């Protein structure tokens, strides 16, 4: 690796953002309260116990163990006979305490807003459960009154107002149980509409429709965005890979992170992998060129710094904690003044800002977007309302 030039202002905002996400994971912070019996000594636990680093195989084994016991766990915490638990993630503290996040189903349907976290000591003793909703999950019927087409039409109308030109949903509306916002659980449809928003940001609008009345219950945007300014910071060192006679912006030491050039395109493809002949990247100066390497260096540096921070501070090995990196895309759109995280591609995407000379690739933006990914793969917070506020914190 050689010294590489980049525009960058070093900032600690990424640290504050990551700490907030780490606290959410380790404390099981959700809206609601503990519903299971909590032992008298539970208060003696360190609330922010440091998670330990789990290898991919150890994490998989722990998830499999918890899933195998999910039926017993459901009964122990008082769930109904039609409710089942699906393990979403596990976090193990240094003292052996395990926090298991579950999603719920009811009569085979996903329960949106029904997720919960079960806390167990190293000896397997219950230390409480944190629920997203205190409501009992029960509906009179899972047979909808309105047709799915009505829910799709409602979602398309809302997406059109945001700039989408799509004439059909990404997939047929799916039946769900809606238990969000502390409301009484009801049978509903969830419809997802793609396309682009007015400012060129990809659209992933989720609309929840009451399956009995046709009323809109909720909507949120699945594409998580951030704003900021890309500023100068001097010389940085990056992980690159020699392939044949050229170097690639491909960091094999951090899960295989790659940085791609969208060259002003707004398609869903990754783009073209950045390469260089002498492994000296960028100029450190603003450029309106769609092939400029400086923005790519910013993005790659932000990705590796955030990876290192999560690993050294929380023992987390990548966004999914499985040792596999997301990837970055720069030069997205024409004068696009934003950056966003997208679960569907498992990637960060950065616009070049006003005049295509102010890429939104500063370290705080990069860390912020990747923390959206961590949040999505742990807490799965909707990007709206109170949960959206926590997601942006």
Residue by residue, DSSP assigns 190-216 as EEEE-SB-TTS-B--EEEEEETTT--E
Task: Indicate the domain borders of the chain.
Answer: 51-131, 148-221, 226-392
Burial zone of 184 (CB within 10 Å; 0-12 exposed, 13-18 middle, 19+ buried): exposed
**In 3D, which of 250, 248, 295 has the Cα closest to residue 276?**
248
Considering the chain, what is the average pLDDT of its residues?
A: 83
Q: Provide the token pair at 325.
A: 């990196």
> Which architecture characterizes domain 51-131 according to CATH?
Roll (3.10)
pLDDT for res 201: 77
The residue count for the chain: 393
Most confident of 6-15, 301-310, 373-382: 301-310
Interval 78-95 mean pLDDT: 94
> How does residue 18 score in pLDDT terms, banded at 50, 70 and 90?
very low
Q: Provide the token pair at 146.
A: 């309105």
Interval 90-117 mean pLDDT: 95
CATH of 148-221, one of 3.40.50.2000, 3.10.450.40, 3.40.605.10, 3.10.310.10: 3.10.450.40
> How does residue 351 score in pLDDT terms, banded at 50, 70 and 90?
very high
pLDDT for res 228: 35
The upper half-sphere exposure of residue 316, i.e. CA atoms within 13 Å in the direction of its Cβ, equals: 29
pLDDT for res 22: 37
- What's 224's DSSP letter? E
> How does residue 393 score in pLDDT terms, banded at 50, 70 and 90?
low
Residue 39 in this model has a pLDDT that exceeds 60: no
- Given this structure, which CATH class describes domain 226-392? alpha beta
Residue 260 in this model has a pLDDT that exceeds 60: yes
> How does residue 20 score in pLDDT terms, banded at 50, 70 and 90?
very low
pLDDT for res 133: 87
> How does residue 15 score in pLDDT terms, banded at 50, 70 and 90?
very low
Look at 108-112, 233-237, 358-362 and tell me which has the smallest mean pLDDT.
Answer: 233-237
Beta bridge partners of 350: 339
Query: Are residues 154 and 207 in contact, defined by beta-carbon separation less than 8 angstroms?
Result: yes
> How does residue 357 score in pLDDT terms, banded at 50, 70 and 90?
very high
Secondary structure (3-state) at 269: coil
Distance CA 101, CA 25 (A): 9
Residue 319 in this model has a pLDDT that exceeds 90: yes
Query: Fold match between 148-221 and 226-392?
Result: no
pLDDT for res 255: 93
Residue 35 in this model has a pLDDT that exceeds 50: no
Q: How many CB atoms lie within 10 A of CB 200?
A: 16
């Amino acid at each position: 690796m050689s010294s590489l030039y980049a525009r960058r202002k070093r900032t600690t905002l990424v640290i504050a953002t990551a700490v907030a996400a780490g606290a959410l994971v380790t404390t099981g912070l959700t809206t609601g309260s503990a519903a299971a019996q909590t032992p008298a000594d539970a208060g003696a636990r360190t609330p922010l116990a440091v998670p330990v680093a789990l290898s991919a195989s150890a994490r998989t084994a722990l998830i499999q163990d918890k899933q195998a016991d999910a039926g017993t766990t459901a009964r122990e915490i008082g769930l109904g006979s039609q409710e089942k638990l699906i393990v979403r993630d596990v976090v193990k503290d240094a003292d052996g305490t395990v926090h298991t996040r579950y999603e719920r189903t009811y009569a085979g349907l996903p329960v949106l807003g029904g997720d919960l976290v079960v806390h167990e000591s190293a000896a397997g003793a219950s230390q409480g459960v944190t629920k997203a909703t205190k409501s009992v999950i029960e509906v009179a019927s899972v047979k909808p009154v309105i047709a799915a087409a009505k829910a799709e039409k409602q979602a398309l109308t809302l997406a059109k107002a945001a700039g989408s030109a799509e004439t059909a949903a990404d997939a047929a509306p799916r039946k769900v149980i809606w238990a969000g916002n502390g409301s009484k659980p009801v049978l509903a449809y969830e419809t997802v509409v793609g396309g682009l928003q007015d400012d060129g940001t990809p659209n992933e609008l989720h609309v929840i429709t009451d399956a009995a009345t046709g009323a809109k219950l909720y909507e949120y945007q699945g594409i998580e965005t951030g704003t900021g300014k890309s500023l100068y910071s001097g010389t940085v060192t990056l992980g690159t890979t020699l392939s044949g006679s050229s170097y690639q912006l491909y960091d094999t030491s951090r899960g295989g992170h790659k940085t791609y050039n969208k060259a002003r395109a707004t398609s869903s493809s990754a783009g073209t992998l950045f390469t260089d002949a002498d492994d000296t990247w960028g100029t450190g100066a603003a450029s309106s060129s769609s092939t400029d390497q400086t923005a790519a260096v910013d993005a790659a540096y932000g990705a590796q710094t955030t990876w290192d921070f999560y690993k050294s501070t929380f023992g987390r090995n990548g966004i999914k904690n499985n040792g596999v990196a997301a990837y970055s895309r720069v030069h997205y759109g024409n004068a696009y003044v934003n950056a966003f995280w997208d679960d569907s591609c498992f990637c960060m995407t950065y616009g070049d800002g006003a005049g295509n000379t102010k890429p939104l690739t500063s370290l705080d933006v990069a860390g912020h977007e990747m923390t959206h990914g961590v949040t999505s793969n742990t807490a799965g917070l909707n990007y709206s309302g109170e949960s959206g506020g926590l997601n942006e914190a």
